[in-house]
Amino acid sequence: MSIFGRIWDRITGQGDTTPTNAPTTAASPRPNFDNVTSGSASAPAEPVDVEAIMTDLERKSGHKSNWRVSIVDLMSLLDIPNSLAERRELAKELGYTGSTDDTATMNIWLHKQVMQKLAANGGKVPQELL
């Protein structure tokens, strides 16, 4: 499964890999993330409130997180490995064309792309995170 697919599954509560502390949400169809560089035609019927889910995960974790701007923190709250290798793989999946050695630039780009892909596939994402 793609890394973005795991992000989607954790946020929507689908699949066997949902963290035990994830809030329950209505099941929605899982978009096909074989080509995550474009939006999917099978968005969920009800928007998935990404901010509410992430805020709830942050509260339940018991520590402050910077998930609104940090791809590392976002992945961490979702219990997805966030190593440089994992982030480079996510960058490849999402079509990053910059240098993966410039991790600061890559991480900023990744966060923005993940938020945009979540929104394109039925996630309700605040405008300031797009």
Render the chain in DSSP notation, one character per residue: --HHHHHHHHHHT-STT--TTPPP----PPP--TTTTS--S---SS-EEHHHHHHHHHHHHTS---TTT-HHHHHHHTT----HHHHHHHHHHHT--S-TT-HHHHHHHHHHHHHHHHHHTTEE--GGG-
Write out pLDDT tens, residues 1-57.
899 999 999 999 875 444 444 444 444 455 555 555 444 445 556 889 999 999 999
How far is it, in rounded angstroms, from Cα 50 to Cα 29? 16
Q: Where are the domains of the chain?
A: 3-19+47-127
Write out pLDDT tens, residues 78-120.
999 999 999 999 999 999 999 999 999 999 999 999 999 999 9
pTM of the model: 0.79
